[in-house]
Structure 1
Amino acid sequence: MLDVQSFAAGRWVAPGSGARNIASAISGEVIARAGNDALDVQEMLSHAREVGGPALRKMTFHDRARMLKALAGFLQERKQALYDLSYDTGATLNDHKIDVDGGIGTMMVFASKGRREMPDAHVFLDGPPEQLGRSGQFMGRHICTPLQGVAVHINAFNFPVWGMLEKLAPTLLAGVPAIVKPATATCYVTEACVRMMLDSGVLPEGAVQLVSGGLGDMLDHLDCQDAVAFTGSADTALELRGNRNLMENSVRFASEQDSLNASVLGPDAAPGTPEFDLFVKEVQREMTAKAGQKCTAIRRIMVPEDHVGAVLEAISTRLLKTTVGDPRAEDTRMGALVSTAQRADVLEKAALIGKEAERVFGDPENFEVAGADAEKGAFVPPMLFYCREPDTAQRVHDTEAFGPVSTVMAYRDLDHAVNLLNRGKGSLVASVITNDGAVARELALGSAAFHGRLYFNNRESMAEATGHGAPLPHMVHGGPGRAGGGEELGGIRGVMHYMQRTAVQGSPDILTAIGQQWVPGATEISDRAHPFTRTFGDLDLGETFNSPSRTVTLEDIETFAHFTGDTFYAHIDDEAAKANPFFPGRVAHGYLLLSFAAGLFVQPDPGPVLANTGLDNLRFMEPVAAGDSIKVRLTVKHKTPRNEEYGEVRWHVTLTNQDDKPVAEYELLTMNAY
C-alpha cells in the first residue's frame, strides 16, 4: 500500500482525512491511497507567490531554459522507475513511452526554444518597436513579463507524467511557480516524478508543489495574477470555469477537454494504395494506444461510400491481432482502462453509440484477456461501430466513450465530409489521409475553424510523421468549442499563457533600457575603439561605429556583374533600367552594396569576432547609381550569451548615401569571444 503524499509549502504531507483508495487497473486490488482535507491552501498559495515566484523571476529566460534541460536529463536517467510504477494504471510499455518519454521530450523542446527564441533577459519583446511620433522620439512596443502569481494545473488521469510536464515546461520557462493537481486515479506516478524533480536540486524552493487528492477551496483564493490550466471532461471544465471568484478576478482559465476527433480517408486513397494501408494502421493504433484513453484518439472514422466495406474489414483484421491483457506481458498490445469505474463509463457511452450504430467488432461480454482476470481488472475489447445514417445520428457526434471505441461512417463527397467533421462542434485534431493536395486544401478551408490541429499524411510524409494522436510541443494543442477553446503548447505561444503582454511607450532610450535591446533613435556610443576589437563582455548596447564613405563607380558595377554572373538588366543596360519605374538608370547591385559595407566596417585583424553567422531583415530603400557614395553605421543592438566562450551580437546596420538618405538596412549576427 502506497501512501501518496502531497508536497505543500516545502514539506511532504501524508494522506489524512478524506483519503481515497486507489486500485490496480489490472487486478482490482487496492495499491495506494491519496488525499488530505487538511492541506492549507492559503499557505501553499503564499509559498508559491512569495518564495517560488521571486526566485524564478530572478532568473533569466536562459537560466530557466537550462533548468528545464537539467530536469529533463535527470528524469531521463530515472524513467525506468516511472515505467515500472505505471503498469498498474493499465498501460503497456509503449504507452509508458508516450507518457514518460513524451513528457521528458516536451520539456527538452521548451528548454531548446527558450535558449534559441527567447533572450537571456527578464523581459520578452513581442514584436518590433512602433514609431508613434513624427521625429521618432516617442516610441512604443509590446513586452511580456511573468505573472506574479501561481499557475494551478489540474491534470487528467491518462497521462500522469506528460500531462504534468507539458504544462510545467512553459510555466516554469515563463517564470511562474506551479501547483500540480493530478487525477487521483494515477497520482502515484505523478508523485514519483515530482519527487525525482525535487531530488534533482535543480528547482528553486517554491517552484513546484503537488496536491495528491482534492484542491479544496484553492480556486476561491486566486486573483488576477494567477492562472488555471485544466485537462479533463467538459462537465468538470464547466463547473470550474463557473467559479465565481475566477470570473470576478478575471483569472486566466485554459481548458483542454472532450473532443470527438475524426479521421478522413481521402477519395483518392483507395484499397491497394499506400494511403489506404496507412489510414487503417493509424485508426487501429489510435483506438488501442492507452486503451483509447487519449484526448486525441480517433472517435469518428469517415470514408468514401465505395470503400466502407473494405475499411471495416481491414480495421477489424488489424484489431484481431490486438492482444488484450496484462500490460506487463511482452505480447500484450492493449492493457486495461484506468479503473473499473472508467470501464463502466466507457460501456455506458458505447451503449449510447450502439443505439445509432451497429457494433461490427468487439463484444464486451465475450472477449479474451491474456494473463489477467477480466472480471477483476478494468479490461474491455476494442469496439468498432458502423453508423449507416450519420446525417441523422446524434450520439456518434456528441458522445465520447473515453476508451477503445470508434465509429465508421460514409461520406458522399468532400462537402459532406466537411459537414460530418464539423458535427463534432470543435475538436483537438482531425486527420486526413490523402495524396491529393486539392483534397487537403478543400478540407482545410472547410474545417480548420472547427479544429485545433489538422494532420495530413500520405506516402511522402509517413516515414517521418508522428501520428494523428501525438501533440507536439512546437504546435498548438487545444481546440475550439467542445474541445475547450484553449491553446496549450505551441512553442513560445505556450509560454505567453503565463505572461502579461504590456504596451510600453516612451523615448528610444527608455525602451532600450526596459527591453535591453537598442532601439533606433536611442543614444549611440561612438567614442570608443572599433567594436570589432572589443570582447562580448565589454560591448555595450548602442555602441556604434561610423565608417568613412566610399564612391560607387560604373566600373565597380560592371566588374561585380561579370564576376558574379548577375547581369540583370538594371545593372548593365542603362536604357532598360530607365524604363523601370524603380531606377533612374543603371544601379549598383544590392549585394555589391552589402559587400562594400562589410569592407567599410570590418576590422581585419584577428580579434574577438569569431564568425559572421548571418543577417536578418534586409531591405533596400533607395537605388545607388554610379557616382553615388555610401557609408555605414554599425550599432550593437542586442547581446545573447551562448556559452562560456562566446556570445551572439546582433548589430543594427544602416547604409546611407551622400545625402544621408538610408539606402539599405539590416541586422548582422556575429559570434564574439568573451
Structure 2
Amino acid sequence: MQLLSQQFINNQWVASKGTRMLDVMNPYREERIAQVTAGDASDVDAAVHAARKAQPAWQALGGVARAAYLEGFADALETRRESLITLSATNNGKPLMEAGIDLDDAIACYRYYAKQAKALDTRQGEPVNVEMEGVEARTYHDPVGVVGLITPWNFPLVTSAWKLAPALAAGCTVVLKPSEVTPLPEQVLADIALEINLPAGVLNLLNGDGEGIGAPLTRHPGVDKISFTGSNRVGEAVMQAASARTASVSLELGGKSPIIVMEDADPEQAADWVMAGIYFNAGQICSATSRLLVHENVAEALYAALAERMDALTLGDPLAEGTDLGPMTSAKQRETVQRYLNIAAQEGLTAVRDATHRTLPDQGYFLAPTLYRDVPVESRLWQEEIFGPVLCARSVVSEAEAIALADDSAYGLAATVISGDPERAKRIGRKLKAGSIWYNSEQLVLPETAWGGFKRSGIGRELGPWGLSAYLEVKHVIGPA
C-alpha cells in the first residue's frame, strides 16, 4: 500500500502539517491501495507563500520560455503513458480505453497551450485604434497571479491539464488540489516538475479533502483566483469564499444535458451516439447526455436498438481488455446513484433496462446500465444530475417541443442533436442554451474549443483562447502619441 504523507511545496516533498490520513480505494477490488494526508491550512499557507514568491520571475520568463516547460509536461506524460493508464484505471475504475483517452486529451492540452504561450508574447503591446488625435493606447495581458486549482475525481489528468496548462502559459503560479478520491494519477505532475526543472514554487501540489485543503485555499488572501470543477453545492461555497475578497473564480459545475433524436435520424446510428453520451465513464461525466428526447416516430426502434447495445456491454475489471463499463469510482457515488434508482422505483418509472435485466460482477462498486422511458418532466430523475449510468427518455412530437424540453433545465452545459439532415441538426443546436452542442457525433472535446456552460452549469470557460484569458488581466497603457 502506498503512503503519501507529504506535500509538494516549492519543489520539495515536505511533511504535511495535517494529522489525518485518507483512504484511497480501488473501486473494482473494493480495497485500500493508498493513504494520503488530509493536509491543513498550514500546508496551504506554505504553498501559497511559495507560489507568491515565484510568480514575478515566472511571469518575466515570457511565453516562449514557459511554452518549453509545457512541452516538457506533454513529453513526460507520453513517456509514462502505459503506467498512467494502468494507474488511472486502478484508482478511478475507468476501462483502459477510457483511461487512455483521458491521458491523450491531457497531453494534447499541454501542447495546445504551449502554442498559446508563445503567441501571447506577440500580443503584448498591441496598439488600439483610438479616435482621439495625439493619443496612443496599447494593450498588455498580465497573469492574474497565484491561482488555486481544485480538480474532480472523474477525469483527474485531463481536468488538471485544462487548468494547469493555461495557468502556467499565462504566467500564473499554482497551488493544485487533486480530488482525495483519485489523487494518485496527479502525483506524477510533481515528479515531472522536478524532472523538467520547473522553477521552484511555480507548481505546488497539496493532497487533502475539502475541509483540510479546499476551504483554506478558497479563503486564502494570497490566492488571486480559484478555478473549481465539481458539484454545485461546493461550487457555491467556493464562490462565497472568493467573494469576501473579490477574488476571481471559474466554476465548471453540474449538467443535465439533453440528446435530441429527430424523426429523420437512423435509429441504429443514433443508438451508438446515445450510448457514448451516457455510459462513457459509467455516466460519471458532467456533460453526460442523460435526458433523451426522441421523436415518437422513431422512439420504439431507438429503444430496441439501445436495449440490444446495453445487453452487449461487458461489465468487469477495468484492467481487462474488452471491459466496456467499470464500477462507480467510489462507494459513496454508488450509494448516491442508488438513491435515484430507489426514487425511480417509488415513482413507478418504466425501465427498458435496469438491474433486473443483468447480473452484476461479484465485486466492485457496480451499477447496471439503466434506461427509463416515458419519464415525467416532474421526476427528480429528469430534473437532477445523477452522475451515473442512468438514461431518462421521453418522446416528443415536434422539433419545437424537443427544443423547449431540452432547455427546460436549471443547467446548460452541453447538448447533442441527431438528424438525418446535418443542416437541420445545426439549426436546432444553435437554438439550444448550452455551452457545447454536438450534432451527429459523439462528444468531441477539443483543446481549441471552449468548455463551460450556461445557467447553473458554471461561470467562465476553459479550453481554447478563452481558457487562457481566464488567467489573464487586460491592461492598457495610454498617453501622448
TM-score higher than 0.5 = yes
Question: Aligned partners of 1:21 and 1:40: how far apart in 2?
Answer: 19
CA, structure 1 residues 429+488, in 2 after alignment: closer, same or farther (shift >3 Å)?
same
Report whether the alignment pairs 1:242 with 2:243.
no
CA, structure 1 residues 222+357, in 2 after alignment: closer, same or farther (shift >3 Å)?
farther
- The structure 2 residue matched to 1:159, chosen from 151, 155, 161, is 155
Report whether the alignment pairs 1:497 with 2:473.
no
Report whether the alignment pairs 1:138 with 2:123.
no
CA, structure 1 residues 473+352, in 2 after alignment: closer, same or farther (shift >3 Å)?
farther
Q: Deviations over 1:403-434 (max 9, x none)?
A: 11111111111111111111122322101112
Q: Secondary structure at the match of 1:33?
A: strand
- The structure 2 residue matched to 1:426, chosen from 411, 425, 430, is 411
What code does the residue aligned with 2:477 have? Answer: V
CA, structure 1 residues 171+209, in 2 after alignment: closer, same or farther (shift >3 Å)?
same
Following superposition, the deviation at residue 14 of structure 1 comes to 4.8
- The structure 2 residue matched to 1:361, chosen from 349, 353, 372, is 353
Which residue matches 1:507? 480
Which residue matches 2:86? 84
Report whether the alignment pairs 1:454 with 2:437.
yes
Question: Aligned partners of 2:101 and 2:208: how far apart in 1?
Answer: 24
Normalized per residue, the structure richer in helix is 2
Say which one has the larger Rg: 1
Which residue matches 2:68? 66
Moved more, 353-362 or 172-181: 353-362
Q: Deviations over 1:134-189 (max 9, x none)?
A: 3xx20224321112x31111111011111111111110000001111111010012
Q: Secondary structure at the match of 1:338?
A: coil
Question: Aligned partners of 1:368 and 1:353: how far apart in 2?
Answer: 20
Q: Deviations over 1:228-282 (max 9, x none)?
A: 0011111111122112xx213210111111100111112321xxx3xx3332111
Question: Aligned partners of 1:287 and 1:59: how far apart in 2?
Answer: 44
Contact 1:414 / 1:442 at 8 angstroms: preserved in 2?
no
Question: Aligned partners of 2:138 and 2:420: how far apart in 1?
Answer: 44
Which residue matches 2:49? 46
CA, structure 1 residues 339+366, in 2 after alignment: closer, same or farther (shift >3 Å)?
farther
CA, structure 1 residues 440+199, in 2 after alignment: closer, same or farther (shift >3 Å)?
same
Q: Which residues of 2 match residues 222-261 of structure 1 at below 5 A?
A: 222=221, 226-243=224-241, 246-261=242-257
Q: Where in structure 2 are there 5+ consecutive unaligned residues? A: none
Following superposition, the deviation at residue 366 of structure 1 comes to 6.6
Question: Aligned partners of 2:160 and 2:22: how far apart in 1?
Answer: 21
What code does the residue aligned with 1:361 have? Answer: R
Question: Aligned partners of 1:76 and 1:441: how far apart in 2?
Answer: 36
Report whether the alignment pairs 1:382 with 2:369.
yes
Contact 2:253 / 2:456 at 8 angstroms: preserved in 1?
yes
Q: Deviations over 1:288-327 (max 9, x none)?
A: 2211111111111111011111111101111111010111
Report whether the alignment pairs 1:480 with 2:454.
yes
Contact 2:340 / 2:381 at 8 angstroms: preserved in 1?
no
What code does the residue aligned with 1:483 have? Answer: S
The number of equivalent residue pairs is 472
Contact 2:69 / 2:196 at 8 angstroms: preserved in 1?
no
- The structure 2 residue matched to 1:325, chosen from 316, 321, 334, is 316
Contact 1:75 / 1:196 at 8 angstroms: preserved in 2?
no
- The structure 2 residue matched to 1:203, chosen from 179, 198, 205, is 198
What code does the residue aligned with 1:360 have? Answer: V
- The structure 1 residue matched to 2:264, chosen from 264, 268, 277, is 268
Contact 1:100 / 1:161 at 8 angstroms: preserved in 2?
yes
Moved more, 429-438 or 27-36: 429-438
Which residue matches 1:104? 107
Contact 1:300 / 1:396 at 8 angstroms: preserved in 2?
no
CA, structure 1 residues 338+279, in 2 after alignment: closer, same or farther (shift >3 Å)?
same
Following superposition, the deviation at residue 397 of structure 1 comes to 3.5
What code does the residue aligned with 1:34 have? Answer: V
- The structure 2 residue matched to 1:440, chosen from 417, 420, 425, is 425
Question: Aligned partners of 1:260 and 1:68: how far apart in 2?
Answer: 34
- The structure 1 residue matched to 2:27, chosen from 21, 25, 34, is 25
Q: Secondary structure at the match of 1:345?
A: helix
Question: Aligned partners of 1:68 and 1:86: how far apart in 2?
Answer: 22
Contact 1:18 / 1:36 at 8 angstroms: preserved in 2?
yes
Question: Aligned partners of 2:197 and 2:150: how far apart in 1?
Answer: 23
What code does the residue aligned with 1:8 have? Answer: I
Which residue matches 1:289? 280
Which residue matches 1:566? none
CA, structure 1 residues 164+388, in 2 after alignment: closer, same or farther (shift >3 Å)?
closer
CA, structure 1 residues 25+437, in 2 after alignment: closer, same or farther (shift >3 Å)?
closer
TM-score, normalisation: structure 1: 0.67
Contact 1:356 / 1:387 at 8 angstroms: preserved in 2?
no
Q: Deviations over 1:617-658 (max 9, x none)?
A: xxxxxxxxxxxxxxxxxxxxxxxxxxxxxxxxxxxxxxxxxx
Following superposition, the deviation at residue 43 of structure 1 comes to 1.9
Report whether the alignment pairs 1:178 with 2:174.
yes
Following superposition, the deviation at residue 60 of structure 1 comes to 1.4
Contact 1:291 / 1:403 at 8 angstroms: preserved in 2?
yes
Question: Aligned partners of 2:116 and 2:352: how far apart in 1?
Answer: 46
Q: Which residues of 2 match residues 328-347 of structure 1 at below 5 A?
A: 328-347=319-338
Q: Deviations over 1:324-360 (max 9, x none)?
A: 0111111211111111111001111233345273221
Report whether the alignment pairs 1:395 with 2:394.
no
CA, structure 1 residues 81+68, in 2 after alignment: closer, same or farther (shift >3 Å)?
same
Contact 1:55 / 1:205 at 8 angstroms: preserved in 2?
no
CA, structure 1 residues 142+37, in 2 after alignment: closer, same or farther (shift >3 Å)?
same
Moved more, 283-292 or 203-212: 283-292
Contact 2:43 / 2:206 at 8 angstroms: preserved in 1?
no
Following superposition, the deviation at residue 283 of structure 1 comes to 1.4
Question: Aligned partners of 2:244 and 2:413: how far apart in 1?
Answer: 29
Question: Aligned partners of 1:432 and 1:205: how far apart in 2?
Answer: 47
Q: Secondary structure at the match of 1:318?
A: helix
Higher-RCO chain (CA-CA 8 Å, sequence separation at least 6): 2
TM-score, normalisation: structure 2: 0.93
User: % of aligned pairs identical?
Assistant: 26
Q: Secondary structure at the match of 1:26?
A: coil
Contact 1:156 / 1:232 at 8 angstroms: preserved in 2?
yes
Which residue matches 1:9? 10
Q: Secondary structure at the match of 1:477?
A: coil
Question: Aligned partners of 1:278 and 1:113: how far apart in 2?
Answer: 37
What code does the residue aligned with 2:318 have? Answer: P
Give structure 1 regions of 4+ aligned residues with deviation exceeding 6 angstroms: none
Question: Aligned partners of 2:426 and 2:279: how far apart in 1?
Answer: 30
Question: Aligned partners of 1:441 and 1:162: how far apart in 2?
Answer: 28
CA, structure 1 residues 348+66, in 2 after alignment: closer, same or farther (shift >3 Å)?
same
CA, structure 1 residues 63+307, in 2 after alignment: closer, same or farther (shift >3 Å)?
same
Following superposition, the deviation at residue 438 of structure 1 comes to 5.2
What code does the residue aligned with 2:425 have? Answer: A
Contact 1:83 / 1:100 at 8 angstroms: preserved in 2?
yes
Following superposition, the deviation at residue 196 of structure 1 comes to 3.3
CA, structure 1 residues 6+368, in 2 after alignment: closer, same or farther (shift >3 Å)?
farther
Contact 2:426 / 2:439 at 8 angstroms: preserved in 1?
no
Following superposition, the deviation at residue 441 of structure 1 comes to 5.0
What code does the residue aligned with 1:281 have? Answer: D
Q: Secondary structure at the match of 2:200?
A: coil
Question: Aligned partners of 2:340 and 2:191: how far apart in 1?
Answer: 38
Question: Aligned partners of 2:161 and 2:69: how far apart in 1?
Answer: 13
Contact 1:63 / 1:120 at 8 angstroms: preserved in 2?
no
